[in-house]
Amino acid sequence: MSPVVAQDSLIEAYRSRRAELAGAESGWVEELRRQAAERFEETGLPGPREEVWRHTPLDPIRRVPFRPAANGAATLPVDLPERVGEAYRVAVTGSGILLDIPENGLPRGLTIGSLVESLDRVKGRLGQLADCESPGITAVNTALFDRGVLIELAPHVTLDRPVHVVHHVESNGEPRAAFPRVVIVAGEGSQGVIVEHYRSGGDSPTLSAPVTEIFVESNARLDHVRLQEESERAFHVGRVVAEQRSASRLRSWSLALGSSLARVDIETRLAGEGAECSLEGIFAGRNRQHLDHYTRIDHASPSTSSRETYKGILDDRARGVFLGHILVRPGAQKINANQTSRSVVLSRGARVNMKPWLEIYADDVRCTHGTTVGHLDDDALFYLRSRGISLAEARATLLRGFAWEVLKELPVDTLRSRLDRQMLMWLGNGVAGRLES
């Protein structure tokens, strides 16, 4: 039997706190949590018998007696590497949210609120996309979420700068788990960029198990960037679920760089005609990192299109997993779906497992997919070296180029150039200083 320490500890936490959990006084939230807790008690953390979890055993998490993170001190985490350009900055803490915004406040049409204090506003939305049925962490998140943010773009609003949400979990002395919950509503015809940034600190194991629900109304254009840079003591199991109305566009980036064991699910349902999405991601692991992505694109309406590019970089004994699920429902005709996944494996001990999973029930469908796993291209390395560039620099340059194909359209300049530099330095051979620009 696999250990159930984490599960027991978290169910116990739910039982003892349930009366104090946010929304306990409003019937629907309490009911939602109760059902989720029941579900979690039944199923626990997902196991290898579930197809989409086959390559990512959660035993290292199961063994740890996680307790929900204490209500954090109400300060913005100070050790952030940078502000993401000029952004509306929000820190999500256990005791609410902290805003770092210009003196004249938020622009008209943008609402940023603490989710646990805005539960009335998200009735009919919360839990609507992220169901507790599918195996994963949604059930435990729904039972225990104690922090989070609601971001609403009013119809036809165009944001002048990105919203940068910082999730920071810290644990010292004992293992702590955070269950952030995020609801994003991009109103009809609105446009904006939202960055969710996950970080962790402290001397003890942390678990982040966030769930984000995104409603993209018709004609809206939303960019969602998910940057996971947690410490090597962190576990991260997150989920993003979107629903897109007609002629809307969602572009998603998932950048998994940190944590010892990370799994992210990115799912979108193209629920209105003409909706389109692009899902891109990078997972870059070294040492013994295990980084898993599961994506699911549900073509539920005709004339919808999707584009997907995921790239893995694996060194040392790291492990990468990508499963790209594309579902085309019966009657959803005139569908375009393109998926590419590519990985570079830099050492003998590194492994990657990438697979498309196509379920197509309509006939007017153009679907392409391709998966490649390889090493750095020897011809390209020689070409660079033949111009005087050292082997170390050549390797760094090729890796950077590999990642750039995903980063190049990232809609936040400062973040894009910071990550670009980081990829150049990723091999850690100290060449970056000279190579920048």
Partner 1 sequence: MLEIRNLHAKVGGVEILRGVDLTVRAGEVHAVMGPNGSGKSTLAHVLAGRPGYEVTAGEVIYENHNLFDLAPEERAQEGIFLAFQYPVEIPGVSNSYFLRAGLNAIRKERGEPEIDAFEFLALVREKLKVVQMDESFLNRSINEGFSGGEKKRNEILQMAVLEPKLAILDEADSGLDVDALRIVANGVNELRREDRAIVVVTHYQRILNYLVPDFTHILLNGRIVKSGDRELAKQVEEHGYAWIEKETAKTSQAEGRTLQA
Q: Give contact residues for partner 1 (rule: CB under 8 A).
A: 377-380, 382-391, 393-394, 397-398, 400-405, 408, 434-435, 437
Residue 34 has φ and ψ, to the nearest 5°, of: -60, -45
- Cα(340)–Cα(135) distance, rounded to whole angstroms? 25
Which residue lies nearer to partner 1 by CB, 14 or 310?
310
With beta carbons less than 8 A apart as the criterion, state whether 143 and 111 touch: no
The CB-of-383 to partner 1 minimum distance in angstroms stands at 4
> Which is closer to partner 1, CB of 79 or CB of 378?
378
* Region of 67 on the Ramachandran plot (φ > 0 left; ψ -120 to 50 alpha; else beta): beta
- For helices 27-43 and 5-17, angle between their N-to-C axes, nearest 10 degrees: 160
Which residue's CB is nearer to partner 1, number 101 or number 389? 389
Nearer to partner 1, 212 or 341 (CB): 341
Please report how close the Cβ of residue 408 comes to partner 1 at its closest, in angstroms. Answer: 8
Q: How far is the CB of 374 from partner 1 (least distance, A)?
A: 13
Smallest gap from residue 380 Cβ to partner 1 (A): 5
Rounded to a whole number of angstroms, the minimum distance from the CB of residue 429 to partner 1 is 14
Name the residue nearer to partner 1 (CB basis): 118 or 340: 340
Q: How far is the CB of 415 from partner 1 (least distance, A)?
A: 17
Q: Report the nearest approach of partner 1 to the CB of residue 402 (Å).
A: 6
Work out the number of other CB atoms within 10 angstroms of the CB of residue 2.
14
User: Which of 164, 400 has the CB closer to partner 1?
Assistant: 400
Taking the least distance from each CB to partner 1, the nearer of 104 and 386 is 386
Tokens of 24: 């306990």
CB nearer to partner 1: pick between 71 and 390:
390
Nearer to partner 1, 66 or 310 (CB): 310
Using CA atoms, how far apart are residues 125 and 129, in angstroms rounded to an integer?
A: 7
Closer by beta carbon to partner 1, 236 or else 400? 400
Find where tokens 């609402």 sit: 111
**CB 413 → partner 1: shortest distance, Å?**
16
Of residues 288 and 408, the one with the C-beta less far from partner 1: 408
Q: Minimum distance from CB of 294 to partner 1 (Å)?
A: 26
Assign 3-class secondary structure to the chain.
CCCCHHHHHHHHHHHHHCCCCCCCCCHHHHHHHHHHHHHHHHHCCCCCCCHHHCCCCCHHHHCCCCEECCCCCCCCCCCCCCCCCCCEEEEEECCEEEEECCCCCCCCCEEEEEHHHCHHHHCCCCCCCCCCCCCCCHHHHHHHCCEEEEEEECCCCECCCCEEEEEEEECCCCCEEECEEEEEEECCCCEEEEEEEEEEECCCCEEECCEEEEEECCCCEEEEEEEECCCCCEEEEEEEEEEECCCCEEEEEEEECCCCEEEEEEEEEECCCCCEEEEEEEEEECCCCEEEEEEEEEECCCCCEEEEEEEEEECCCCEEEEEEEEEECCCCCCEEEEEEEEEEECCCCCEEEEEEEEEECCCCEEEEEEEEEECCCHHHHHHHHCCCCCHHHHHHHHHHHHHHHHHCCCCCHHHHHHHHHHHHHCCCCCCHHHHCC
- Nearest distance from C-beta of residue 106 to partner 1, angstroms: 37
CB of 414 to partner 1, least distance (A): 19
